[in-house]
Copies of this chain bind each other. A is one copy, B any other.
Amino acid sequence: MDRRVRRTRDLLRRALLDLILEKGYDRITVQDVIDRADVGRSTFYAHFTDKDDLLLSGLEEMSVTLEEQMRRHLEGGDPNPVLAAFRHADQHRHLWKALAGKRGAEVMRDGVRRRIYDIGLRRLHSVLPEGGPPHEVTFEFLMSSLVGLLTWWIDEDRPYTPEQMADMYMRLAISSVHGAYDVSGQFWKSVQ
C-alpha cells in the first residue's frame, strides 16, 4: 500500500533529522536511524540505498518548497528578492539547521548552496551591469555571502527577523555592486 510506504519513509526521514540535531550527521549509523524510527534493517535498504540517499530525499522535499516560495516572491514583484529565502529558513528552522547547519552533512550544504546558486544565477546575470569585475566573480561574492549569512543566522540563532536579515543583506549587496560597477541609481531601480 502506498500509505504504508510513505509512512515508513517519513519515519526514517524524521528520525534522521532528529539524530542530526542531536549528534551530527557523520556520527550517525544506519542502525541508529532504524532503531529510532523502529523500522527493520532490510526495510531501510528497500527504500534507500544508503544514509546519504535518505538525506538527499529530505533535500528534495525542502528545495521544492524553497524554490516555489522564491519564485512566487519574484513573480509577485517583491522588492527584496532574498526575503523569501530568509523567510523559508525561518519557517523551517528545524530542517535548515539539520540540513544546512554545522551538524549537517557536507552533501547537504553543497546541495542547499547549489540550489540557491541556481536560483540566483538566473536572475543575477540579467541584472548585473557591465564595466566592473567579471560577472562570475561578483556572482561568487554575492552568493557565498548570502549562503554564509543564511546559515550563520540559523545556526547561531541570531535574534534578527527574516525581514531584517534580508534588508541588511540587500543593503550590503547592492552597495557593493553599486560601488564596484560605478553605476548610477539605475541599478537600484532595476533590482526593485
Contact residues of A with B, CB < 8 Å? 106, 133, 136-138, 140-145, 147-149, 152, 158, 160, 164-165, 167-169, 171-180, 187, 191
Asked if B149 and A141 sit within 8 Å, CB to CB, the answer is yes
CA distance A180 to B149 in the complex (A): 16
Q: A-B pairs with the 4 shortest C-beta distances?
A: A175-B179, A144-B148, A176-B176, A145-B145
Nearest residue in B to A105 (C-beta to C-beta)?
B106
Does B179 contact A179, Cβ atoms closer than 8 Å? yes
Residue of B nearest to A168 (CB): B133
Check B171–A180 contact: CB distance below 8 A.
yes
Chain B's closest residue to A183 (CB) is B171
Whole-angstrom distance from the CB of A69 to the nearest CB of chain B?
A: 23
Would B176 and A179 count as touching, CB distance under 8 A?
Answer: yes
- A141-B149, A144-B147, A171-B180 are known; give 16 further A-B pairs, CB within 8 A: A133-B172, A136-B158, A137-B149, A137-B158, A137-B160, A137-B165, A140-B145, A141-B148, A145-B145, A147-B148, A167-B191, A171-B179, A172-B179, A175-B176, A175-B179, A176-B179
A97 to B122, CA, bound (A): 28
Closest chain B CB from A55 CB (angstroms): 14
